Every structure is written in C-alpha cells, then in structure tokens.
Amino acid sequence: MPPLVAVDWSPDGRALRILDQRHLPGAELLRDLVSLAAVIDAIRTLAVRGAPAIGVAAAIGLVVSLEQDSEGHGVRARAMLTDYANQLIASRPTAVNLAWAVRRLLSRAAVVDDDRLLTALRADAEAIRAEDVAMCDAIGRMGLHLIPDGTRLLTHCNAGALATAGSGTALAPVHLAHREGRRVHVFADETRPLRQGARLTAWELQRAGIPVTVLPDGAAASLLRTGAVDLVLVGADRITANGDVANKIGTYAVALAAREHGVPFYVAAPWSTIDPDTPTGADIEIEHRHADELGDLPAGVRVWNPAFDVTPRALVSGYLTDRGVVLPPFSGVTHG
C-alpha cells in the first residue's frame, strides 16, 4: 500500500492538502484548501485532526491563505498575519501543537522584513512538516523496546499516521514492530463520541496488515481485567509541566483501569506537545462538542460532551517522546 499521508502541501505547493477524515473508512477523499475559512472549518470539524497534524495544517494553512489573500505582497501579508494567526489558534483550544506551530511562524515573521516575509513563513511551515515526519520516526525507534514479539496492546482514539504528517505517535512503534516482523495485536477502543478508534485506528491498522480488534469504550476495563493486554499506549493533545495529560475523552478511565490491573500505561507524543506554560491539568481549557455528535437524543435533554479528559501524572508509567522515554520534570522544554 502507498504511504498514508494525512496532511501535506498540494502537489503545486499552493494549497494545504488533507485526507478528509470525516469520510473514513468509507472513502479516501483528498481536499486542497487555500482560504483561511476553509482551513479553520477543516480543523474545527475534524476533517483534519490529531494534535501534530493540526499543527502542521495550521502552519501550511496560514501560509497559503496569506499568499492568496495578499496576492504575494509582504506588506499586505503582514497586516493580515496577526488576525489570521489568532483565528487559527482559537479554532481548537485544547491541543497545544496548533498554537505552538502558529506562534513559531509569528516569531519567524518578527525577524524578517516584508520582502522576505512570505518566503520565510513558507520555509518555516515546511520545516514544521518535515520535523513532524522525523519526530514520528524517532518515536517509533524510541518506543520499539516497549513492543516485543507477541505484544497485545490497547490504545484509545487515533494516534497514528492519520493524526500526524508521518507514521504517528502511539502507533509509530506499532508500525515499526510490524515491519520488523514482530507479532502485534492492537485492541482499539471505539472512542466516543466520534468513534475515531473504530473508524480511523482500525482502518489504518487493517490497511497496514496489523491485526486489530475494536471494542466499546465501556468494555476496556473488563478487557484489562482478563489479562489479555500487555501494554496501554495512547497519544496526547497536551502534556502539562507536571505531567498531566489531555487526550480524547475516556483516556482517564482507561488509565484508572490499567493501574488497577497492573498494566503499564504509556503516553506517546512529540516534545512540542509538552507545554511548560500550563502548570497542571486543571489549567487546560477542555473543548466541548455539539450534542448532535452523540446521536439521536430526546428533545430538550441536556448534554455534557467534553472532547477530552485529563489523566493525572500519577497514572502514567512513562512519556514516549522523540527524545526517548522521559518523566517530569521535563527539563529544557521551550515553545519560544
């Protein structure tokens, strides 16, 4: 099968190209986005999703929308830059990579003149994309020792190639282990409310020839109790300075069950997902989704539909990053 690429430049370099994940697993639909409104809509509606992927999408999307709307004029582009950046940052508040990528471009813009502005922003957006691919490869190598032959692994949501510009975070070592001939079986939680485990993780793993079993979120604790799982490995949208982890809703329950049944619980994420400016999980803004995403409900029923929850640092066995497996305090982290 050809490599799975969720986010990239269009072939002519003039647009952001995404694999629209709202249509998976039924159809593989590639879309080229140029306008800021289209990029923001794709991020908000989860056409492109996963913390690293939306960071890359925001960086490329900021560049191509500025290039189009300024008609290539640096002075006009600079006048639009702050407003466009703020709109992108506000599109999804919980994942740190989006704001990190946009602010990196803002920092670059501050040290170049108008004539070089768009060229410099394009180069930095490409660097963010290339670094994300390299990051995924590094996480795969760093986490390979966690997946010996015969590993039975439980994951939650999707932290694979669909969530990044490369081979994924939590699924990167799984893909590498499979390529090396190790037997791996993945249990994928369905992951409510958008079923990203059932729709995306299962599709991605099946496409790669990796055995996968989907289970309802409510069955994860019972599965762990049977002894059928050797390792839990999940992604993250934000890791705070003290090690608390924001990930898709339901992750906290899995971590509690893993601790109860003596199963190691690891979090995989790039170094850029560690946020030194957010002290603890209590300081994370949690995105809430629309009631429609829960399906048919009686009219007038109230809904509490958070997209993420926070897993306390005490439940995490280790943090698998592109710099290796680490524990807090995370020295040397900076998003400047």
The residues annotated with a catalytic role in the active site are 237
Structure tokens, 286 = 């949690």
**Distance (Å, rounded) from C-alpha 259 to C-alpha 229?**
12
* Nearest one of 254, 168, 270 to 210, comparing CA atoms: 168
Structure tokens, 18 = 């995404």
**Distance (Å, rounded) from C-alpha 290 to C-alpha 303?**
8
CA triplet 207, 210, 212: central angle to 5 degrees? 95
* Nearest one of 135, 56, 134 to 322, comparing CA atoms: 135
Q: What is the DSSP letter of 198?
A: I
Contact 322, 270 (CB under 8 A): yes
**Distance (Å, rounded) from C-alpha 284 to C-alpha 132?**
23
Contact 97, 132 (CB under 8 A): no
CA triplet 237, 288, 252: central angle to 5 degrees? 50
97 Cβ partners below 8 Å, 6+ apart? 51, 52, 54, 55, 237, 270, 272, 273
Structure tokens, 85 = 């950046």
**Distance (Å, rounded) from C-alpha 209 to C-alpha 219?**
24
CA triplet 144, 147, 148: central angle to 5 degrees? 105
Write the Ramachandran bin of 272: left for phi over 0, alpha for psi from -120 to 50, otherwise beta: alpha
Place of tokens 């339901």: 250
